[in-house]
A = this chain, B = another copy of it.
């Protein structure tokens, strides 16, 4: 059922074009995965998400296991049926959220004890329980439970954390049962290139169906992320998909693809939409800006999304200022459309061996800014 094919490679960069076959359908890579934290891409119906061109979405193991609960979702037919999303789903391991949202009570070799950010209730997650939860959710791609290395951190801590992540990955691999579910390992090691490499080597030896580069913590400079990718990606198996977790802005996707990444996820398009920040080829539109009060144009002239075909900046600003629910939805439609179209264009450029020219054009449009009307 699971299969990854490498279809093309760009001549001048590490960018690559691939195809993943999952139990719930095909995913063309490089791909951006919208985030459906609590069993919904916020404000959008699954049909809308599908028609925007999303191929695969991400569900958050941490959130779903706390509410409504993995056993409950399994009884209700699994996450695909529960949220009426028929396509592929990737679930994260919950590691990142346990370390960023919950109150940690104890980290030991066996696992993590934490308190829920919702009601303070106490929970314990181990690599084995993490696998069990993801099996109950029934995602197409599961992630190994990892300790998300904090930043900044000492080299000693980063090493200990990375080594534990390797041991946990082995335990996840041992506990892995569902053969309709692929299991990805996560390369950790923080900002230390040699630790990342060591981690990649160890995980490669365990032969996982895919490999992720673990999220760098909030506040970490972007140059470090690119350096990590420059170091780690060449060491990952060529014939397995590579996933950069929790990234990012449009330029981060471009730079990730250029360094050989196949998969991305991020809350940026939907969260920023709800904050009134809209993406266009020339940069961001802050819809609450008073310059849009009487602007009859769509967010991005020429954009084919529902929002741009039907509504003016003036209307979208009005909805946003009036805190109307439709604002969050129309903004989310536009932003997701932008991200998904961007990745479609990336795939085409890689296929045609013109990714570097595409990338230059991407930055040129940013520099030139919004085209001036006649």
Q: Chain B residue with minimal CB distance to A325? A: B43
Asked whether, in the complex, the Cβ of A45 is within 8 Å of the Cβ of B293, the reply is no
Contact of A296 (CB < 8 Å), options: B40, B76, B83: B76
Asked whether, in the complex, the Cβ of B76 is within 8 Å of the Cβ of A40, the reply is no
A318 proximity list for chain B (CB < 8 A): 38-39, 67-68, 82
Q: Complex formed: what's the CA distance from A312 to B78 in Å?
A: 13
Contact of A42 (CB < 8 Å), options: B38, B83, B311, B326: B326
Which residues from 309 to 331 on chain A have a C-beta closer than 8 Å to any C-beta of chain B? 310-312, 314-315, 317-319, 321-322, 324-326, 328-330
Q: Complex formed: what's the CA distance from A322 to B39 in Å?
A: 10
A238 interface residue, CB < 8 Å from B?
A: no
Asked whether, in the complex, the Cβ of A315 is within 8 Å of the Cβ of B44, the reply is no
Q: Complex formed: what's the CA distance from A82 to B313 in Å?
A: 10
Asked whether, in the complex, the Cβ of A306 is within 8 Å of the Cβ of B45, the reply is yes
Asked whether, in the complex, the Cβ of A326 is within 8 Å of the Cβ of B45, the reply is yes
Contact of A329 (CB < 8 Å), options: B84, B311, B329, B330: B329
Asked whether, in the complex, the Cβ of B325 is within 8 Å of the Cβ of A67, the reply is no
Cβ of A288 to closest chain B Cβ, rounded Å:
13
* Top-3 shortest CB links A-B: A43-B325, A84-B310, A68-B318
Contact of A72 (CB < 8 Å), options: B39, B42, B293: B293
Asked whether, in the complex, the Cβ of B67 is within 8 Å of the Cβ of A312, the reply is no
Asked whether, in the complex, the Cβ of B311 is within 8 Å of the Cβ of A72, the reply is no
Asked whether, in the complex, the Cβ of A314 is within 8 Å of the Cβ of B72, the reply is yes
Asked whether, in the complex, the Cβ of B43 is within 8 Å of the Cβ of A329, the reply is yes
Q: How many chain copies?
A: 2
A44 proximity list for chain B (CB < 8 A): 326
A207 interface residue, CB < 8 Å from B?
A: no
Asked whether, in the complex, the Cβ of B312 is within 8 Å of the Cβ of A45, the reply is no
Q: Chain B residue with minimal CB distance to A326? A: B40
Cβ of A292 to closest chain B Cβ, rounded Å:
11
7 sampled A-B residue pairs with Cβ under 8 A: A42-B325, A46-B310, A67-B322, A68-B318, A72-B293, A76-B294, A82-B312
A40 proximity list for chain B (CB < 8 A): 319, 324, 326
A75 interface residue, CB < 8 Å from B?
A: yes
Residue in A72, A315, A326 whose Cβ sees the most chain B Cβ within 10 Å: A326
Q: Chain B residue with minimal CB distance to A84? A: B310
A326-B294 CB under 8 A given contacts A67-B318, A83-B315, A321-B67 = no
Q: Complex formed: what's the CA distance from A282 to B325 in Å?
A: 29
A47 proximity list for chain B (CB < 8 A): 306
Q: Complex formed: what's the CA distance from A40 to B317 in Å?
A: 13
Extra 12 A-B pairs, beta carbons < 8 Å, given A38-B324, A40-B319, A45-B306: A43-B325, A43-B329, A44-B326, A45-B329, A45-B330, A67-B321, A68-B293, A68-B318, A76-B294, A76-B314, A84-B310, A84-B315
A310 proximity list for chain B (CB < 8 A): 46, 84
Asked whether, in the complex, the Cβ of A43 is within 8 Å of the Cβ of B314, the reply is no
Q: Complex formed: what's the CA distance from A317 to B84 in Å?
A: 15
A319 proximity list for chain B (CB < 8 A): 38-40
